[in-house]
Structure 1
Amino acid sequence: MAAYRGKDDIQTVAAIGSGVIGGGWVAAFLGGGRAVRLYDPAPDAGPKTRDHVARAWPQMAALGLARADDDWSGRLSFHDRLDDAVEGADFVQESTPERIPIKRALFEELDRLVPADILVGSSTSSLPISELQAGLATAGRFVLGHPFNPVHLIPLVEVGGGEATDAAAIDTAQAFYVALGKEPVRLNREIFGHIANRLTSAMFREAVRLVAEDYATVGDIDKAIRFGPALKWAIQGQFTTFHTSGGAGGFADFLPKFAPGIVQRWETMADPPLADPTLQAKLVHQIEEAAAGQSVEEIARRQDMLLMEMLALFAQEGS
């Protein structure tokens, strides 16, 4: 196994891509005291990313993820050439579009440009690392580092690797993300969509079907989640929720009591025609009705405010 620059050695990060996820990573890296060298050929990448970090900084400072008096601007530089961005970097985080040809071409360039002891983390939300690293000379240092949006607030990062990834590379990346205040989860085997996106996709699948077949509206389905299971999920997740629902015997008592009903529900589930334009129009119309005139920006601001309050509470509890 190769030796990689560890969490304490990573002082400069090359961030590839300045979209919503890439910009969130830039804020998180800067909040953790690192310097960031951003590569994105888009002409508005610099101003857009500075605005993103400026908006995120007070939120991170309130949660202890950044210092309010830290002048981060001097640690952020912008580059329109990939080789310039990775020069002097101790870690690379790529957040490019979710298309195999784009990411594969980038991986090939990074394989050639970046010293072999520097890890490359990919923000891919679904793609297996094995498909992106195959045949590369330094395939062992390419890892999965998939965050959740908003990246500067949500602690989750899914960490894993492909068939050729060194275990030491995954361990090192995980330690680095922990040092940034993240809560990594380990993907032991590759599967398309990783962990959390598969879970949310399963939930969304049934939610769409309930709307498609007129069992319920978008608004009521969201209420059913918000005021029901989601309250517990934020605290302890699904398995532990069922563990506490089994009485004194926990999950061992829950399964014989409730598994038959769960299996029956599974048997009634089916794929909705989500690609159907008529169904898409129905979903859009109903979410706009449920929004009751609020803009996306207004909803997102409320989301972030409540997220901060929840995260602050969890921090007090040591969760």
Structure 2
Amino acid sequence: MPSSPCAPEEVRRVACVGAGVIGGGWVAHFLGRGYDVTAWDPAPDAEEKLRRLVDAAWPALTQIGLADGASPDRLTVAATVEEAVADAQFVQESAPEKLELKRSLLAQLDAAAPPGVVIASSTSGYPMTDMQTEAADPGRLVVGHPFNPPYLIPLVEVVGGERTDAAAVEWASRFYKVAGKSVITMERELPGFIANRLQEALWREALHMVAGGEATVKEIDDSITEGPGLRWAFMGPCLTFALAGGEGGMGHMLDHFGPSLKSPWTRLEAPELDDTLRAAMVDGCDEAAGSRTIAQLVAERDQGVIDVLRATGRLPRQRAEGTDAITHTPSTMGDEK
């Protein structure tokens, strides 16, 4: 991999390829951080949907603090992939999770982007080793895995593939931090990465409980939002369990509760997603949502995330109107604690 054309702190133009829920969320995030963003998506109505997503995200971005010069007007929607990345200083790919599509698109981006520019994939599960096989310069391809919505959830997991240059991983990690993210730079590839594997275990158990008639969708969601989710917002599961051991910490907790690990409480094999289970999940979510529309639920989620981030000290307290906007340096939202 040739040297990157600029340092992470000098990036001003970002290309986002793929503008669905995740790609559009990245667009909103980068716009909120004051970057010029060029986006591309093959859908005929992509631009209309993207600008609608940015408009919906802007109130939340305004609450957490916009960078100097941040504006939706700094978004350009390109007609082709080549146009989107022609003058990009960083590229974020967020295409659907189809391996052959990822391979061909990353190769196309590699051929079109300026030499040395780092290209990151938002993949939620594929190792970069499996995706970089067709690229002429695989050394600059990394994974930058976000969580939805990328404009609010701080986490991004960064990892390279077998043919990725270590300098590209380091550069991407620095760039994401400058861009206001909380970064985990993984030392090795892991299918599904870290957070998704933990989230997937909880999701599979939820599906088993619904499939077996053991709990409703609402009961499952309430069990998290009114229970362990409140602790997980500021303290992860390992440290939380350590406190269950009292003054003896994790050692006492493992000695005391360790035998229960042999109890058949969890079923990590996924249940069969048949028509009955699918209908139960869809109907359960409809019932839980009540009269709230998707747009109303998104606004409720965004406000909830902001409130939690602010309450746990990862965002400044509410600012008085007219105060200075944050600058292009990492915010407390991006600090690793």
TM-score, normalised by the number of residues in structure 2: 0.87
Partner of 2:7: 6
Partner of 1:33: 34
Residue among 297, 310, 313 paired with 1:312: 310
Question: Which residue identity does 2:3 align to in structure 1?
Answer: A
- 1:261 to partner: Cα distance: 1.0
Partner of 1:301: 299
Say if 2:57 is the partner of 1:56. Answer: yes
Asked if the contact 2:121/2:143 (under 8 Å) is kept, the reply is yes
Asked if the contact 1:63/1:311 (under 8 Å) is kept, the reply is no
Aligned length: 316
- 1:58 to partner: Cα distance: 2.4
Say if 2:305 is the partner of 1:285. Answer: no
Partner SS for 1:223: helix
- 1:297 to partner: Cα distance: 2.8
- 1:134 to partner: Cα distance: 2.0
Partner SS for 1:36: strand
Asked if the contact 2:16/2:91 (under 8 Å) is kept, the reply is yes
Distance of 1:270 and 1:124 partners within structure 2: 22
Distance of 1:209 and 1:168 partners within structure 2: 43
Give CA-to-partner distance per residue, 1:224-273, whole Å, 9 cap, x none: 1111111101111111101222112211221111121133245x525353
Give CA-to-partner distance per residue, 1:64-119, whole Å, 9 cap, x none: 2445xx46244221111111111111111111111111111111112222233100
Partner SS for 1:240: helix
Distance of 1:16 and 1:187 partners within structure 2: 24
Asked if the contact 1:116/1:138 (under 8 Å) is kept, the reply is no
In structure 1, the gaps of 5 or more residues are none
Partner of 1:198: 197
* 1:39/1:281 CA distance change after superposition, 3 Å: same
Write the mapping of 1:101-140 to structure 2, written as runs, cut at 5 A. 101-140=100-139
Out of 183-192 and 18-27, give the one that drifted further.
183-192
Partner of 2:322: none
Distance of 1:292 and 1:35 partners within structure 2: 39
* 1:275/1:113 CA distance change after superposition, 3 Å: same
Write the mapping of 1:69-148 to structure 2, written as runs, cut at 5 A. 70=69, 72-148=71-147
Question: Which residue identity does 2:34 align to in structure 1?
Answer: G
Say if 2:9 is the partner of 1:15. Answer: no
Distance of 1:272 and 1:56 partners within structure 2: 34
Partner of 2:227: 228
Partner SS for 2:142: strand
Structure with the higher fraction of residues in helix conformation = 1
Distance of 1:23 and 1:290 partners within structure 2: 26
Out of 187-196 and 230-239, give the one that drifted further.
187-196
Distance of 2:74 and 2:291 partners within structure 1: 40
Partner of 1:151: 150
Give CA-to-partner distance per residue, 1:184-238, whole Å, 9 cap, x none: 1223222221121111110011111112122222221211111111110111111
Question: Which residue identity does 1:107 align to in structure 2?
Answer: L
Partner SS for 2:271: coil
Partner of 1:259: 258
Distance of 1:71 and 1:3 partners within structure 2: 28
* 1:165/1:41 CA distance change after superposition, 3 Å: same
TM-score, normalised by the number of residues in structure 1: 0.92
Distance of 2:236 and 2:131 partners within structure 1: 31
* 1:290/1:28 CA distance change after superposition, 3 Å: closer
Give CA-to-partner distance per residue, 1:292-318, whole Å, 9 cap, x none: 333333222211111111122232496
Asked if the contact 1:57/1:66 (under 8 Å) is kept, the reply is no
* 1:35/1:270 CA distance change after superposition, 3 Å: closer
Asked if the contact 2:33/2:70 (under 8 Å) is kept, the reply is no
- 1:24 to partner: Cα distance: 0.9
Partner of 1:275: 273
Distance of 2:76 and 2:62 partners within structure 1: 21
Question: Which residue identity does 1:19 align to in structure 2?
Answer: G
In structure 2, the gaps of 5 or more residues are 318-331
Distance of 2:49 and 2:284 partners within structure 1: 31
Partner of 2:323: none
Identity %: 43
Partner SS for 1:250: helix
